[in-house]
Every structure is written in structure tokens, then in C-alpha cells.
């Protein structure tokens, strides 16, 4: 029988204590791995499920060259806004203006290109001016968001919502509520073009359709890597570098993890937050320009359905809405999951409205996994 002194001695036994600490550390590591890799496991399971379903229902191969390209094209717009939201969410904020900023940028870019093309300017001048107009104009709402959040201490939810509605109003005034059409004829081929095309027995062609190809030959030419996907890859790499390899990126994690500690550590919190919201808005501007080039027009509502999908992609990818957590790789896989759901349901002939139901279920699953992991880790 163990005496009371023996019980007290066992409680203070260093071996016993270190064993408990080791077990807790191992448990935290396992939970961290589950929270980090469950989206990848879910992504693989989802691809297998769509492959079986498409074969059984439509006798179509889900895993194919065309389906991969289709998923990547679906993911591009979601990914670019998700990247923007990743920066903001890591700081424990949220930007609700980005969807409307896409429409604003597309309208401004399309309007500039329309005017310059009608004036007979050179194609390069028209395209570059449209890109610059669509991107640079978005610095304004980003700056206003940053000042309201960082200086005026307005909650990011309210500040960005107000700025988003304001931006939408400006886009409506500029466009009159109609698409800004009558774009240059070379805009569509640029926005819907491919980096490489392979023509069997003829070789590879970069950024152009083989000039000697006939209409019948076009069926045999294999397009490789859409232009918009290349842009998304480049921007994703830049965002990864900023977040992972720069002092600015580390400051974002510090601000989101513990705001007061970041202030005490001497981090320029206000300036950093203003930069974050400007960066997010500029990414929305790039998205708006790409939208205008793909659809050869500008529309005030170009990004209305993108924002919620992008936020869902960030959360599915492992970011915490409480701040301090998130990474670019997770955002990419979250965007691919949503794009795969959209593409897969379209391939199966399912009514498009079911996309929202499916994505909502996946988002709830992501939140449950995150919260379950946090409770067990305590």
C-alpha cells in the first residue's frame, strides 16, 4: 500500500513529469500534422470519388489533361483573392471589399482600353495602360481600408464592408450598370491564350497559334498552360516568398498572434497593416484585369461570387480567423479543393447551385477539424 509521502514523491518525480511533457508534445505534434495535412488527404479522396462517379454516371475520365487544365482555370480567380485574404487573415483581420474591388478594377481597365483602342493607339500601349489603370486604381481602396483599420481602429469587418460598397458604387457609376464592352480584338486571345501549344510532328509554339495551321489542324494542337495560370503561379511564388522569407511576413504573424506583444516589440504595426490592405487590394486589381482580358469586358459584379469562395479556401487551407496562422501552400490546396468541387459537379451534370452546398460542407468540416485540434491540444 502506497503511503501519502510516497504519493507526493511520485507527483514531484522528474521522470514522471518529463514523461507527461513528452506525451503532450507528441500529441501536439500529431494534431499539428492532422491539421496541416487533412486538406491534402481530402483532396486526394475527392479526386478518387469524382473519378469513380464520372466513370459510372457519364462514362467520362475525370483525371485527364483537359480536366487538370479546367480545374486550374477554375482555381485562378479564387486563388488570387485567397492569397490576398491570407495576408489579411494572418493579421487577425478580414477584407470584405476584395470582391467588389475586382469589379472596380475590371471596369477601370476595360474603360481605359476601350478609349485608347478607339483612339487608334498601338496594341502594346492599350494593353499596358489598361493593366496599369486596373491595378494602380485599387491602391486607393486598399489605403483607405488600412488607415481605417490601423489608425482609426475601425473593425476590419466594418471598414472593408463600407469601402467595398463605396467601390461598387463607383464602378456602377463608371459603367452605368452595363458591361464595358467594345474591347480590342487582341484582348480575348491574350486573356484566353496559352503559354505553349504543341503540334504533333511540328513542334512547340510559345504564346501563339501556329500561323500555318488550318481550322482542321487546330483540333490536333494541344494547348499547354493557360496564360492566366502562369500569372497565378508567378504571383503565388511571390506571395510565398514575402510571407516566408521576409521580415514583413514575420511581422504579420507577430501582429496576428499577439497584437500587444508586437507593439511592445517595436514592430511598426500601423504601417504594416496599411501595407497589408494595399497589397490585398492590388491583388484584387490584378484579378480584375485578368477577368477583363478573359471576358473582353469590364463588369461591376465581376468578383461578387469570388470573395466567399476565397475566404473558404483560406480557412480550408489551415488559416485561423483569429490570426497568427496560415500559409500560402495551404491556401493553394484550399483553392484547388474548391475548384475541383466546382469542376467535378459541372462534369457530372449536377445543378450548379449544389456547388455552394458542397463547399459549405467542406468549410464546416475544416472549422470542426481546426477547433477539435485546438481543444485536444490544450
Which CATH fold would you assign to the domain 70-377?
Answer: ABC transporter involved in vitamin B12 uptake, BtuC (1.10.3470)
* Cβ atoms 348, 88 nearer than 8 A: no
Question: DSSP letter at 94?
Answer: -
How far apart, in whole angstroms, are the C-alpha atoms of residue 20 and residue 335? 39
The predicted pLDDT at position 8 comes to 47
| % of the chain with per-residue pLDDT over 70 | 88
172-181 pLDDT, tens per residue? 999 999 999 9
| 92 or 217, higher pLDDT | 92
Q: pLDDT tens digits for 258-276?
A: 999 999 999 999 999 999 9
- Which range has the worst mean pLDDT, 74-88, 210-224, 248-262, 297-311? 210-224
pLDDT of res. 213: 84
> For the chain, what is the mean pLDDT?
88
Spatial distance between the Cα atoms of 283 and 101, rounded to a whole number of angstroms: 10
Report the pLDDT value the prediction gives residue 367, as an integer from 0 to 100: 78
- Nearest residue to 309 via CA among 85, 23, 51: 85
Mean pLDDT, rounded, for 265-292 = 97
pTM: 0.89
Tell me: pLDDT of 27 over 60. no
Q: What is the pLDDT of residues 123-163, one digit of tens each?
A: 999 999 999 999 999 999 999 999 999 999 999 999 999 99
Check pLDDT > 60 for residue 11: no
Burial of 377 (0-12, 13-18, 19+ CB in 10 A): middle
H or E element that contains 183:
none
Amino acid at each position: 500500500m502506497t503511503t501519502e509521502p510516497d504519493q507526493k514523491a511520485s507527483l514531484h518525480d522528474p521522470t514522471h513529469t518529463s514523461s507527461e511533457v513528452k506525451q503532450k508534445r507528441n500529441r501536439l505534434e500529431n494534431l499539428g500534422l492532422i491539421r496541416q495535412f487533412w486538406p491534402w488527404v481530402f483532396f486526394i479522396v475527392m479526386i478518387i470519388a469524382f473519378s469513380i462517379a464520372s466513370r459510372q454516371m457519364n462514362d467520362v475520365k475525370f483525371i485527364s489533361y483537359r480536366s487538370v487544365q479546367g480545374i486550374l482555370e477554375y482555381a485562378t480567380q479564387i486563388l488570387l483573392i485567397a492569397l490576398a485574404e491570407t495576408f489579411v487573415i494572418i493579421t487577425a483581420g478580414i477584407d470584405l471589399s476584395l470582391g467588389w474591388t475586382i469589379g472596380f478594377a475590371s471596369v477601370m481597365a476595360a474603360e481605359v482600353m476601350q478609349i485608347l483602342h478607339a483612339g487608334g493607339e498601338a496594341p502594346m500601349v492599350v494593353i499596358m495602360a489598361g493593366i496599369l489603370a486596373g491595378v494602380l486604381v485599387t491602391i486607393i481602396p486598399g489605403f483607405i481600408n488600412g488607415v481605417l483599420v490601423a489608425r482609426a481602429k475601425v473593425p476590419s469587418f466594418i471598414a472593408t464592408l463600407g469601402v467595398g460598397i463605396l467601390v461598387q458604387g463607383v464602378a456602377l457609376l463608371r459603367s452605368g450598370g452595363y458591361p464595358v464592352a467594345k474591347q480590342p480584338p487582341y484582348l480575348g486571345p491574350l486573356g484566353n491564350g496559352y503559354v505553349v501549344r504543341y503540334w504533333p510532328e511540328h513542334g512547340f509554339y510559345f504564346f501563339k497559334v501556329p500561323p500555318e495551321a488550318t481550322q482542321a489542324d487546330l483540333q490536333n494542337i494541344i494547348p499547354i498552360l493557360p496564360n492566366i495560370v502562369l500569372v497565378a503561379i508567378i504571383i503565388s511564388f511571390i506571395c510565398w516568398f514575402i510571407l516566408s522569407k521576409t521580415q514583413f511576413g514575420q511581422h504579420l504573424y507577430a501582429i496576428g498572434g499577439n497584437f500587444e506583444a508586437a507593439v511592445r516589440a517595436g514592430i511598426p504595426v500601423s504601417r504594416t497593416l496599411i501595407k497589408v490592405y494595399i497589397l490585398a487590394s492590388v491583388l484584387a486589381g490584378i484579378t480584375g484585369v485578368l477577368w477583363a482580358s478573359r471576358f473582353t469586358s469590364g463588369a461591376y459584379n465581376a468578383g461578387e461570387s469570388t470573395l466567399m469562395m476565397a475566404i473558404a479556401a483560406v480557412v480550408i487551407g489551415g488559416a485561423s480567423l483569429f490570426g497568427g496562422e496560415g500559409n500560402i501552400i495551404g491556401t493553394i490546396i484550399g483553392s484547388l479543393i474548391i475548384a475541383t468541387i466546382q469542376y467535378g459537379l459541372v462534369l457530372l451534370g449536377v445543378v450548379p447551385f449544389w456547388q455552394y452546398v458542397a463547399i459549405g460542407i467542406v468549410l464546416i468540416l475544416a472549422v470542426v477539424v481546426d477547433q477539435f485540434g485546438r481543444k485536444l491540444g490544450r
